[in-house]
Structures are given as structure tokens and as C-alpha cells.
Amino acid sequence: MSFHTENGDSSMLKTKQMEAYVVDNKNQKLTTDNAVRVSSTDDSLKVGERGPTLLEDVHFREKITHFDHERIPERVVHARGSGAHGYFELYESMAEYTMADFLQDPAVKTPVFVRFSTVVGSRGSSDTTRDVRGFATKFYTRSGNYDLVGNNMPVFFIQDAIKFPDIVHAIKPEPNNEIPQATAAHDTFWDFVVNTPETAHMVMWLMSDRGIPRSFRMMEGFGVNTFRFVNAQGKARFVKFHWKPMLGVHSLAMDEAQKLSGKDPDFHRRDLWEAIERGSYPEYELGVQMLEEEQEFDFDFDILDPTKFWPEEIIPVKIIGKMTLNKNVDNFFAETEQVAFCPANIVPGIDFSNDPLLQGRLFSYEDTQLSRLGGPNFREIPINRPVAPVHNNQRDGMHRMTINPGPVSYFPNSIAQNSPSTASREEGGFVHYAERVDGQKIRARSDSFRDHFRQATLFWNSMSAEEKKHIINGFHYEAGSVKDKSIRQKVVDMFANVSPELAKAIAPGLGVTAPINVIPNYMKSASPAVSQENTIKSPATRKVAILVENGFCPVSVQSMTEALKAVNAVVETVSINRSVLTGKDGMLLEPNKDFTTTHATFYDAVYVPGGDHVSALAQNKDARGFINDCLNHYKTIGASNEGMELLKATEAAVLAQNLLDAQNTPKVFEGMVAIQNSSDLQPFFAEFINQLSMHRHWSRPV
């Protein structure tokens, strides 16, 4: 099987392979699973019109039996997810560092499938709860499948995988009442935290804005664990993987995230789907941090400790390629639900380290697929099937799909001349890195893993003033929901080790006492790379609502729409109802949404154009509430000419006083943009788009 095309593009390989399994029912006759045509599927076979149903109704039995068994066990964690297909392009050959085949030739595009997910909630939970997000990528490479299984945070709660059942049991709904769903805001989680100080760093990330991303398209991905690159000469280097979103790293406001859980629990799933459908393909650059083996002990943290990250300022991230997601799934169950990721799925050129969390993950992921997907042949499911040919001596097991002729299913053999045979390293065979390991069997942990607070402090120091406020608010809500006051006190006492400033700030919200005799932490170092204040800012794919009613200014609406679409932003008109509206010059406009079918939380910004329609909007509580939510969620708010009158009728009125002198020229105050008495709105549109690109205006006093 050849993987080379004339232009070196192999990105369509997986798509073409999947096409063999796609069934188009259009204009076809209904059949049973055995391809027998069905004459009726509305009524079961009975004795008379009102008699009992007959057991011989095979169509009824097949239909009901399939329905009764069509659910499979959901994932223990990462149950709620969304997936998409795409491809990976290499910027430059990495042959100096690794023999991994998909990292050799920039001319070859490697097909990928990515699944984003929450961790704690069930399949039916909400997208926008405060949680870690999974970011798992399956590369369908020419030498087999490689799975980069990561999260949107670079560290983890625990250092050793043997504690994984404990952290999951603690954060899941409590077993006596199955409450609460999909949240850390309860006693058992925080009880585990205060009794497991190694969680401190990860909890800081979780309480930060990283716990409530704006979208899957605007969050980072991290491999979390330490791996190895191994080149063709057998030289190894330690490596960590990063996905950097091309749109930057952005988050929701906490109140906004909580409202979205009710308004649209599918917010992130819908955002990903719609972006791909309209051609705004999510893009992420792949970066690697690499260390020579002799540098293993050069730092004040253990590079194998999964509760620590490698600060980018001292170990730079080398950007090596880009991933583009350009195709939605055809069937959610067959692809997103049945895809099986495992960190053990590696290819020659990538190997493991002695990271104790990674070592356990190598077993756990594989083990759970055996139960969830019905046996050892889950790799033959189309979404999991490699594009590289598979040759082995496996023949049996549940759901076996491959038909292998001949009597031989063992090695060595002479009947088949030792086919299939093993491959040497030079022939592409996987050879584990020959690391020398000496030691006694012992249940213990290295002393280099004992520092649980220094990097948590580093993270706190790296946050802007506004980001620190958000962390404090996160603690207030999540830990403040704990019923046991002694646990709340222990939370404050524990995080005083991270920052006395933090402990003093969260204590009142938890209703407990701030520690008095805390030794001040004088650590001042920071890692600017972890602050979202320093991320990429762009108006691209941002969603803007234009509020309209009868009497709107058509020129303002049309010109703003054109300006926003020119920077690849998304525009929707929103009105009191869906009836066709008439503009000042008689132009007819059918709104995209009304205040019943949408909400301010669905948008990144709002614009109120001028016109006679403003008085109707100002008298409508939903229109006023729309502006109020945008204000309180720190979003860009724009008003031109008469549009200012709506702002004056809302909670934005006080701040809008700073915009009253915006005569003939745009004026900006805390993300609010206005212009009055002007027929030339182009400067206003330019400033509105500039403010939109900032994502949120966190310093706004609300």
C-alpha cells in the first residue's frame, strides 16, 4: 500500500478509507439488517387488528432488539466530547530529533481526528462547566496510528497513576445521591484536595480562566506527560507537546459560562460544528519543548513530575507544524463516540519516559476500551482503523472484521515462510529506547516530587490583576459550595502556601478565617506565557449581534455587516420577534434571531445602529437585558448615532456618560465604542473591530 501521491498529500487517505463504510440511504428502499426489503415499519404483526403481537414478527424483533442494545458504556471520564477530521502539516523536517515518519517530510499531510471533551460530566452534561478539557489527537501516519492524548492544561492533579481512581471518585457526583453533576463544587473533591497537597498546582489552573474556555477553537492543548523523541541514530531527548490555537487562548466569564449551561448546554459542540461548516477551519500549531538527556536534573523541578510544567521562558517551545480541522463527522456515534485513544499508541521515533502518571495511563486507556467497545478488535472499527496496512496473527475475538485466509496464525512458522515477519529497526520496526534502569522494587516517591507549591505560586505570580480576581471568584464559588466548614478552612490554610494574598482574599468568601502566622512567600518569578493577557487577539470568527427593529438605519447595518465579514467575523441580526422588519428607507430585513431564540451569552459583542427603531428597543426588557449581559460579561458594546439612547436605558448608562462627547468621531471607554451625529461611520467600524479583537474588557468596572 503506497502512501505517496503526486504532490505528497496523504491527508485524504483516512477520508477515502472511511468512504468504504459510508451508506447513503437516499432514494433507497427500507431493509432489515440482512438486506431483506421491508413492506411496513409502522405496525407490528398481530392476530387481528386488536389482537396480541406475534413472536414471528422478525422485523419487529430486529428493530426493538437493536434499539435495546444501541447504547454502549460511556467513558468513565471524558464522556462528553466533540470530534472533527483534519490534517497535520509539518513546517520543517524533524529528522535530527526523531525518526517519527509523520515528522520527516513537510510535503506530506497526515490525516488526523481530534476529540475535545470535558472530563467530569456524563454524556448529557453541559459544555461550559468549570472543568479540565480533553484534547486528544489521532494521527493516521504511514507507520501506524499515533495518539497524542492531552488536556487544555499542562499539569495534572496527581503524580502517580495509582491515585487516578481516587481523584476521579472524589470529583465525580457523590455516590450516595449522584449529586452534583459535572462540577468540582462539592465536599468530596475539596476533601481530596486538602488531603493531597500535590493537587495545588492543578487546582490553580482549574480555578483560573482556563477552566471555562470560550471555545474548543480558542484553547491550548498539552501532552501533559513527558515523552521521548528518538532519532535514527538512537539518540533520545525528552519532549513535551503543545497545541497553540491560531486564534489565541480565550475564556468565558464565570457568570456567562453558568448561564450558557442552561441557555445552550451544547455551546462548545455547536461552535466547533458551525465554524467548520462555514469554512472557518480551526487551526493549531504543534510545538515541542525538548531537553537533552544530560539536562534531566538541571532544574528546580523534576521534569518527570506531571504536576509541574516546563516554563517556556527557560525551555522554549519550538513550533514545528500546523493542524487544520476541516471536516465534521458524518455520524456522531460511529466516529466521535467510538474513537479510541490511548497514550500507548506510539510510532517509531516516539517513546515513553518514566513519568509515573504516564506509565499508568499506558494500561488504563487500553483496558477501558476493551469493556466500552466490546473486545480486543476495537481497532477494526472504521474510525480507529489505521491507514497503514495491518498484518498480524490475531484471528478471533468479538466483532472481528478482518478475514485472514490460510491455516497459520502464529510465529515462527514454516508453512507461511514466517509471514508475517518481524521488521528490523532499519525496516521501520518499533524498538524501545534502551534506557539503563537499576534499582530495587520499592513503593516510594522521589524526593524531587515533594515540592507541591512552588509552581502553583509561579502560576499565581504569572496572572494579571484581573486574572487573579477571576481565580479568587472561582475559589469562592467552587470551594464556597462545600458544606463542611472544616474543609473550607483547610482549603484556605492549604493555599496560603501558594500565596498569603490568595488565602486572605478567598477566606471571606468561604466564610472562614484567613491564616495569621503564615510565612510570607517571597517567590517573585513568573511565566508570562501562561497568562492569557499575552495571547493572540483577533476579530476572526467572533460572533456579533446587531439589534434591530422597524425603523433601523439600513446603511449602518449593511456597512457594519460588510466590515465584520471582511475580517471573518460572524454577524446575526436580533430583534423582538422574527417578523420582517422595515428600515428607514423601506428596506426589508428578516432578522436571524429574536430574543426568545437567542441570548447575549451566544455572542462576543453587540452593536446598536442608529435609526427610529431605538425607542422600541429601549422599551423592551429583553433588549435592555441583552445590553446588560454584554456589559456584565465584559464584551464589546457599540452604538452609533441614535443607538446611544438604548445604552442610556440600561445598566451601561453610567459608563456611557464617558462617551457623550463622541461627536463626529468615535470614542472608546472600557470596551464601549460610540459615535454620534456622524454620517461617516467607517472610523467607528474600525474601532469597534479593534475592540472586538481584544476578546473581553476585564478591567471594566461592573
For the segment 575-601, the average pLDDT, to the nearest whole number, is: 97
Q: DSSP of 250-273, one letter per residue?
A: -B--HHHHHHHHHH-TTHHHHHHH
**Which pLDDT score is estimated for 503?**
96
In the predicted structure, residue 521 carries a pLDDT above the cut 90: no
**Which pLDDT score is estimated for 272?**
98
Distance CA 477, CA 492 (A): 14
pTM: 0.95
Q: Given CA atoms 457, 458, 464, 467 in this order, what sign does their dihedral have?
A: negative
Residue span(s) of the chain under CATH 3.40.50.880 come to: 538-692
Cis omega (within 30 of 0) for bond into 412: yes
Arithmetic mean of pLDDT over the chain: 95
DSSP 199: G
Give 423-441 pLDDT, tens digit per residue: 998 999 999 999 888 888 8
Q: Which of 182, 206, 72, 25 is nearest to 119 (CA)?
A: 182
What residues contact residue 495 under an 8 Å CB cut-off, 6+ apart?
200, 203, 475, 502, 503, 506
CA dihedral 559, 561, 564, 565 (to 10 degrees): -120
**SS3 of residue 43 by DSSP:** coil
Distance CA 77, CA 424 (A): 38
**Which pLDDT score is estimated for 2?**
43
Give 220-248 pLDDT, tens digit per residue: 999 999 999 999 999 999 999 999 999 99
Cis omega (within 30 of 0) for bond into 180: yes
Which of 460-469, 472-481, 522-531, 615-624 has the least mean pLDDT?
A: 522-531
Q: Give whole-number Cα distances, 527 to 210, 319, 456, 472, 531, in Å.
A: 15, 18, 11, 19, 8
Residue span(s) of the chain under CATH 1.20.1370.20 come to: 462-533
What residues contact residue 284 under an 8 Å CB cut-off, 6+ apart?
221, 243, 244, 245, 246, 322, 323
**Which pLDDT score is estimated for 520?**
67
Check: CB of residue 581 under 8 Å from CB of residue 575.
yes
For the segment 494-505, the average pLDDT, to the nearest whole number, is: 96
In the predicted structure, residue 10 carries a pLDDT above the cut 80: no
Burial class (CB in 10 A: 0-12, 13-18, 19+), 47: exposed
Which of 43-57, 201-215, 268-282, 471-485 has the least mean pLDDT?
A: 43-57
Give 257-287 pLDDT, tens digit per residue: 999 999 999 999 999 999 999 999 999 999 9
Share of the chain above pLDDT 70, in %: 98
In the numeric block, which cell numbers belong to residue 204? Answer: 490553580
Check: CB of residue 622 under 8 Å from CB of residue 569.
no
**Which pLDDT score is estimated for 12?**
85
Distance CA 121, CA 262 (A): 15
- The single residue listed with the C-alpha cell 492524548 is 149
Distance CA 694, CA 605 (A): 11
| Catalytic machinery residues | 78, 151
Q: Which CATH architecture has domain 462-533?
A: Up-down Bundle (1.20)
Does domain 81-384 match CATH 2.40.180.10?
yes
In the numeric block, which cell numbers belong to residue 46? Answer: 398481530
**Which pLDDT score is estimated for 1?**
39
Residue span(s) of the chain under CATH 2.40.180.10 come to: 81-384
Distance CA 441, CA 268 (A): 46
Range 263-266, long-range pairs (CB < 8 A, 24+ positions): 263/599, 263/601, 263/602, 264/599, 264/601, 264/602, 265/125, 265/126, 265/127, 265/128, 266/127
Band of the pLDDT at 518, cuts 50, 70, 90? confident
The fold adopted by the segment(s) 538-692 is: Rossmann fold (3.40.50)
